[in-house]
Structure 1
């Protein structure tokens, strides 16, 4: 049962940003869609028969599709033995890249990777945080060893 009369009018509420469905887009109550950038990590396995210059050219072409202004960091692992044969190939050239991009550009980026015959496999994942503990300095290592020795002496 609703009450009506003086003093029962509701004040207009301000528009709120609410995430609905896709975590890469924020939909406001006014219906505007704002794209959110996220940090991604991609692992590529290129055909090991490709020259280094050809691999660099392909990387540049694919990374241009991302349209990011932030630098893309790449770590070249080089030619390595595959865990299992993919087609007739048993070696590949591994590259790990980290980049920031909007989610809406990923489908076209993945499509280009699928169509590229020089890319044997790829994996794109959201980069949430660094794995493992941060590197320790010599002083921190010495302090840790001293604590461990003290703990052993107490037992």
Structure 2
């Protein structure tokens, strides 16, 4: 039987901005411990930011984005349950991490065609 390939996930968390940084780090460590991931998740801290709309009567939140790989996805329901029960987590979103954000890279032919089109547009003006 072939080994399962690891799937890469991305989790975006919005924590209560009233929490101290070390409390947020402890919560992340505890939640990521539930994942039983082969490697430690990489966490990007975006810090405290204004929310677009109030969430649980809060106007701002602390944003953190984690990327992790799982071979066994049966741990995800328990991970989500722990996040739902955590009063310090205002919102979270877990999704498959397909690729980095941004436009996909263009081939040399596509770049040349784009340059030619841009030059034609400039000539018409």
Under a length normalisation based on structure 1, what TM-score does the superposition of the two structures give? Answer: 0.64
Structure number with higher relative contact order (C-alpha < 8 Å, ≥ 6 residues apart): 2
Structure with the higher helix share, 1 or 2 = 2
Please tell me the root mean square deviation across aligned C-alpha atoms, in Å. 2.9
Contact 1:35/1:103 (<8 A) preserved: no
> How many Å apart are 1:129 and its aligned residue?
1.6
* 1:46 to 1:149, Cα distance in 2 relative to 1, 3 A: closer
Asked if residue 77 in structure 1 is aligned to residue 52 in structure 2, the reply is no
Gaps of 5+ in 2: 106-111
Moved over 4 A (4+): 146-155
How many residues are paired up? 119
Q: 2:34 aligns with which of 43, 54, 65?
A: 65
Gaps of 5+ in 1: 1-16, 18-25, 27-33, 136-142
Asked if residue 96 in structure 1 is aligned to residue 65 in structure 2, the reply is yes
